[in-house]
Amino acid sequence: MATPVFKRITLEQFEELLLQFPFTRQIDAVHMHHTWRPSHRDFKGHETIVGMWRFHTRERGWSDIAQHITIDPEGFIWLGRNWNRPPASAAGHNGNSAFGPFMFEMIGDFDKGHDTFAGAQRETALRVVALVQQRFDLPVTSLRFHNSMSQKSCPGSSLVYDEVVAAVQQIRALGRGLNRVMAAGAVGEGPFPEERSQTTREAIDILSRVSAAADDPADAELAHDDVEAAASAAGELQPAQLVRELSPQRLTALQPHVINLSLGRFSASGRISTTESDVDAIFEEHLVRALAEAKAQNRKLRLLFYAHGGLASESGGLAIAEKHIDWWMRNGVYPIYFVWETGLFESIGQMLKRAVFGSPRGFIDSATDLLIESAAEPLRGPQIWGEMKLSAERAAQPQLGGAWQVAGKLKAFCDAHPGEIELHAIGHSAGSIFHSHFLAAAHNLGVPVFDTLQLFAPAVRVDTFKDQLLGLLDAGKVARKLTLFTMNKHYEKDDNCAQLYRKSLLYLIFNALEDKRGTPILGLEECLRADADLKRLFGLDGHHAGVGEVVWSVSPSESGRSASHATAHGDFDDDPPTMNSAVRRILDLPDDRVIEAYPGRQRRSTAELNWADDIDWPEEFEPSHAALPTEHAPPLTPPQVQAAPVVAGPAAAGGRRSALCVGINDYPDPQHRLAGCVADARMWASSLSRLGFATTLLLDGQATREAIDRSLRAMVESARPGDVIVFQYSGHGTYVTDLAGDESDGRDEALCPVDFASGALYIDDDIAELFARLPEGVNLTCFTDCCHSGTNSRFAVGSSGGRPLHARDARRRFVPPTEEINRAHVQFRQRLGRALRRDGNGGTELMRDIKFAACRDDEVAWESDGHGEFSLHATRVLDAGIDGVSHEQFLQRVQADFGPAPRQHPLLDCTEKARSGGLLQPRQAEQPLEVDHALLMQTLWQLQRLAGQLSRHGR
């Protein structure tokens, strides 16, 4: 397509254009972004705007530039995409051709310490928000920051939402903008009306260059990353920079080879989604075709299941898959990649940063290892690692797990084509944990034995590997041949994690991330040689020729079946000797047979290798690559560190943070369907994830009564003292006849799972029975966004007094309790065969949970703009920070966020004592022990200085 010309206009011209533009799309929000890159100093006028357009259209595959307008550092406005088309703003929030947001992007990097949001650019941005809101009669809170819809810092960490909203409110109160223009009468009045009208007509023509009927993916979203930065700042795109940004064409090519999982379930979000129908297509269409091609070549179909490491982001996992797939196919192997979104790379990176907070670059050396290992527990390192492992375990969970469902499809496919398929598996790093569960599940379902299992630098615990696979391997029931590629201990100790921890990731796991220091890890040489069962399995005892074999890196040879030259933990999946060895073992070829060689990256020296190089680090964490001080470096000066107390003790050290988020829009009966509940659940999950919670999502058809009960029961019953757990629900609520006789008003309140019409309601008695099992010392907090939710987590406590609900809006989250629903409820309870509690719980003061409800018993929980209003306000308050916030204070902030005349009143239901407790904090954290981080760093500096002095004196 021809490169367009982007018109620059003034704020006054924008006002007139906004009035005259022929809108066919209802604007319901204003989305605010910054470019991050280019920053102010990088901006080159029209060239930069064209660079953004080129990247968005040619590489992202969108039909036009993402934003409706761009505001430059001088306060001028550059026109963008057709205003009657939804923007590429934020996944799930772009709207459609009928309604949605107006999106603008500001040139600049407004993260703290960078460009300043001030002057003409600030004035234009604030007035643009006010003008659009006035044009469409929107509330001032219809402004949305990108960071409220994603995990980016955009539009900049220096911008405070409440301050920006207050500034917009002031502009509107002063009557500036459209009111002034409208008061002037005809738009053409004033000086040079013909010239102004001509400018407006030209602008409308330019905005219409791409038809309003053109469609972009619903999950189109700006990344604000280095790839986009390079394209925008330079106006050109370097091919090597596109590895993480996949166009629709490339994603289409990946789909038959990728199964995307999030927290163990099929992932419907992200760059590439996976549904059950996508998996069906792999096994019923793509593999059938691949099998026919293999038969035509008189060979079996070689099917490889690959699981990447936990340090790979979703985009990193997709980049690995894209690079590998074509090479595997050229070697006659059909690969299927499990891309599991663990989030570990972000969390571990942030933990490392916090552990060395305030350290000067030169101070980061071996002394820091002790600091990191000591700080890992209070900084939740074991919890982060544990939740990643739980994702792998959940994937193999019967019925629900994505890997379990794939294994079932694989069983059916192999049964339909007996003797025609070879199975192979490769797991890199934490991928070995994933495969320990996946292969065990495959065996339990009757999948044929895999021909080969190859593990690269496996991060699985030895006891987990032995529990899941050792017996099956010994019996030849899960894999015929096992190969382990890993570094010897000297290379492991010469590796580093982001130039912060001065050994490999496996040593970080071994020393700091497991529950117990020194927990044996399969990929560490010292652990392999210390275990008699492993020595026998891998033939390391000198007496047995085991099923397994170890290939130590760096190997003497660069070619053959037993070659590996990886010198960093993250290198194995892109190391040509390793990958060529792996394909030879799958093809069962000797060293002298020709294969399609792996096109690996150019070799780097050991000093250049860095764990961070292959990771998409969060914006706020930029790993240091600074050289370490040499023997002749200038003397160190004491580091100037601000005191940063770290909470220590049982609560901080041992507590896990888990959440179950439920959102249901797609009820089977059209009259019950909602529009904002799934978005609510995702929004809550995002907010809670940023607070360190491992979150399970149950959305639409997944959210059956059985699934909600099982998931919530598992979370409650597995909790232990010090844990913080959350249950969030967005969907319909109702009430039904009280069958136990314990309710004063004769009715039980209920949540409405997706299958509630069958009688499968989740009533307050069910919840009370479960919450009574909550172990002492566990903080359970509930956030319920449905009608009549005021007391639905308590048993026989509270009553609405029989007052009717008066909501008439189609978006209310309440299902009227018809006779049919009550009849189905009675029949379901009879089938369930479980007696309901009749003894009550004794009142509010015996409650064991904390519950925030969307509204009072006699009110309606509303949803609008694609979200529940309670969820929208509550998560916004949550995202603003909760350090030191009590439950009562959080409620007050949420109520204040609703404004002076709310149509629903959130409430807090808990014991009087709990009202002053810390929001989402461990129960036993009332008297935390504070460790002065500055003092700790000063002590380590003194130790380093003393060690240097002793070294210089030869002691």
pLDDT digits (tens, 9 = 90+) for 840-851: 444 566 688 999
Q: Mean pLDDT, to the nearest integer, of 701-707?
A: 91
Check residue 795 and give its pLDDT.
29
Of 305-309, 786-790, 950-954, give the lowest mean pLDDT range: 950-954
Most confident stretch, 284-288, 696-700, 812-816, 848-852: 284-288
Q: Mean pLDDT, to the nearest integer, of 648-652?
A: 32
Q: Which residues lie below 8 Å from residue 243, measured CB to CB, with a gap of 6+?
A: 319, 323
Q: Mean pLDDT, to the nearest integer, of 440-446?
A: 96
Check residue 110 and give its pLDDT.
93
Question: In this structure, which amino acid lies at residue 873?
Answer: H
Check residue 2 and give its pLDDT.
64
Tell me which residue of 660, 867, 858 sits closest to 762, measured CA to CA: 660
Spatial separation of the C-alpha atoms in residues 869 and 784, rounded to whole Å: 12
**Contacts of the segment 411-416: beta carbons below 8 A, 24+ positions apart:** 411/442, 411/445, 411/446, 411/447, 412/283, 413/283, 413/287, 414/447, 414/448
- Kindly give the residue spans of alpha helices, DSSP state H, lying in 720-856: 764-771, 819-832
Number of other residues whose CB lies within 10 A of the CB of residue 239: 7
Number of H helices, E strands in the chain: 31, 27
Query: Is the model's pLDDT at 693 over the cut of 50?
Result: yes
Backbone dihedral angles phi then psi of residue 481, each to the nearest 5 degrees: -135, 135
Q: Which residues lie below 8 Å from residue 745, measured CB to CB, with a gap of 6+?
A: 738, 799, 800, 801, 802
Tell me which residue of 174, 154, 156 sits closest to 166, measured CA to CA: 174
Mean of pLDDT over the chain: 79
Of 118-132, 293-307, 376-390, 633-647, give the lowest mean pLDDT range: 633-647
Chain-centroid distance of CA 598 in Å reads 31
Q: Give the rounded percent of residues in the chain with a pLDDT score beyond 90.
A: 43
Q: Mean pLDDT, to the nearest integer, of 805-829?
A: 74
Spatial separation of the C-alpha atoms in residues 321 and 406, rounded to whole Å: 18
Of 53-62, 65-74, 152-161, give the lowest mean pLDDT range: 53-62
pLDDT band at 362 (very low <50, low <70, confident <90, very high): very low
Spatial separation of the C-alpha atoms in residues 930 and 496, rounded to whole Å: 29
Query: Is the model's pLDDT at 378 over the cut of 70?
Result: no
Question: In this structure, which amino acid lies at residue 173?
Answer: A
Spatial separation of the C-alpha atoms in residues 742 and 769, rounded to whole Å: 13
Q: Based on the residue annotation, tell me whether 732 is a catalytic residue of this protein.
A: yes
Spatial separation of the C-alpha atoms in residues 52 and 41, rounded to whole Å: 16
Q: What is the DSSP letter of 142?
A: G
**Contacts of the segment 511-516: beta carbons below 8 A, 24+ positions apart:** 511/369, 511/373, 512/372, 512/373, 512/376, 512/377, 512/381, 512/382, 513/376, 513/381, 513/382, 513/384, 513/385, 514/382, 514/385, 514/461, 515/382, 515/386
| b/e code 269-285 from CB counts within 10 Å (16+ = b) | bbbbbbeeebbeebbee
Query: Is the model's pLDDT at 345 over the cut of 70?
Result: no
Check residue 815 and give its pLDDT.
86
Active-site choice (661, 787, 855, 910): 787
- Kindly give the residue spans of alpha helices, DSSP state H, lying in 672-797: 677-690, 705-717, 764-771
Most confident stretch, 395-404, 496-505, 614-623: 395-404
Tell me which residue of 161, 131, 163, 136 sits closest to 146, measured CA to CA: 161
Of 7-11, 510-514, 712-716, 738-742, give the lowest mean pLDDT range: 738-742
Query: Is the model's pLDDT at 628 over the cut of 50?
Result: no
pLDDT band at 780 (very low <50, low <70, confident <90, very high): very high
pLDDT digits (tens, 9 = 90+) for 78-102: 999 999 999 999 888 888 888 899 9
Of 466-470, 773-777, 810-814, give the lowest mean pLDDT range: 810-814
Check residue 617 and give its pLDDT.
33
pLDDT digits (tens, 9 = 90+) for 533-580: 999 999 998 776 778 999 999 999 989 999 999 998 888 998 999 999
Of 338-347, 626-635, 682-691, give the lowest mean pLDDT range: 626-635
> Which residues are registered as beta bridge partners of 487?
553
Q: Which residues lie below 8 Å from residue 897, measured CB to CB, with a gap of 6+?
A: 873, 876, 877
Q: Mean pLDDT, to the nearest integer, of 785-806?
A: 42
**Contacts of the segment 293-296: beta carbons below 8 A, 24+ positions apart:** 294/332, 294/420, 295/420
- Distance (Å) of CA 870 to CA 698, 785, 911: 19, 6, 22
Check residue 879 and give its pLDDT.
86
Check residue 154 and give its pLDDT.
92
Of 354-363, 782-791, 912-921, give the lowest mean pLDDT range: 354-363
Q: Give the rounded percent of residues in the chain with a pLDDT score beyond 70.
A: 74
SS3 content of the chain, % helix, strand, coil (to 5): 40, 15, 45
Query: Is the model's pLDDT at 139 over the cut of 80?
Result: yes
pLDDT digits (tens, 9 = 90+) for 126-135: 999 999 999 9
- Distance (Å) of CA 682 to CA 149, 204, 662, 667, 868: 9, 37, 9, 18, 12
Q: Mean pLDDT, to the nearest integer, of 119-138?
A: 95
β-pairing, 747-751 with 733-737?
antiparallel
Check residue 862 and give its pLDDT.
85
Check residue 920 and give its pLDDT.
94
Q: Based on the residue annotation, tell me whether 806 is a catalytic residue of this protein.
A: no
Check residue 21 and give its pLDDT.
93
pTM above 0.95? no
Question: In this structure, which amino acid lies at residue 117?
Answer: F
Of 3-12, 252-261, 599-608, give the lowest mean pLDDT range: 599-608
Q: Mean pLDDT, to the nearest integer, of 205-222?
A: 79
Query: Is the model's pLDDT at 56 over the cut of 60?
Result: yes
Query: Is the model's pLDDT at 924 over the cut of 70?
Result: no
Query: Is the model's pLDDT at 178 over the cut of 70?
Result: no
Query: Is the model's pLDDT at 298 over the cut of 80?
Result: yes
Q: Is the dihedral of CA 329, 487, 528, 537 positive or negative?
A: positive
pLDDT digits (tens, 9 = 90+) for 714-734: 899 888 888 999 999 999 998
Active-site choice (732, 788, 867, 933): 732
Check residue 812 and give its pLDDT.
77
Of 16-30, 271-285, 514-528, 732-746, give the lowest mean pLDDT range: 732-746
Query: Is the model's pLDDT at 511 over the cut of 80?
Result: yes
